Amino acid sequence: MTKKDIDNLWFQIIGAAIEVHKNLGAGLLESVYHECMKEELRLRKINFHTEKIVPIIYKGNQLEANLRCDLYIENLIVVELKSTVEVHKVFDSQILTYMNLLNAPKGILINFYCKNIFKEGQKTFVNEIYRNLP
């Protein structure tokens, strides 16, 4: 896997979110966008897990913390969906936690409560795994 492969997948995910937003507009419940994102990803033949349990492994033991990421795309990109007026810093911590625990090189926070997904409705995160890829 290369940065270019992951970036191409990122572009497809953002395209799916833009399509959902274009069809539904802003201001609906997060659960509505979640269902529509799943359908849009299926239509685009993009593999994903939904409500993926994020394991915590500590000193060789798996601990229960009931962490679930909204979408885990191609076992590479964590996607956290929101539909909120204010984007809080805790959302950054949430997605970074999921990325680190899943060893995902990239993550996207998508907030559907916006006018333009590409400009203001998404925030992309990368970690050392991504930075070290060819």
All residues at 6 or more sequence positions from 124 whose CB lies less than 8 Å from its CB, including other chains: 10, 106, 107, 108, 109
Could you tell me which of 45, 40, 42 has the C-alpha nearest to residue 17? 40
The predicted pLDDT at position 64 comes to 85
pLDDT, one tens digit per residue, over 55-95 is 999 999 999 889 999 999 999 999 999 999 998 999 999 99
The one-letter amino acid code at 54 reads V
pTM: 0.93
Q: In whole angstroms, what is the distance from residue 79 CA to residue 13 CA?
A: 9
Strand-pair category, 106-111 with 77-82: parallel
Between CA 113 and CA 133 the distance in angstroms is 33
Side-chain-side CA neighbours of residue 133 (13 Å): 15
Is there a contact between 126 and 106 (Cβ–Cβ < 8 Å)? Answer: yes
The percentage of the chain sitting over the pLDDT mark of 90, rounded to a whole number, equals 94
**Across all residues in the chain, what is the average pLDDT?**
95
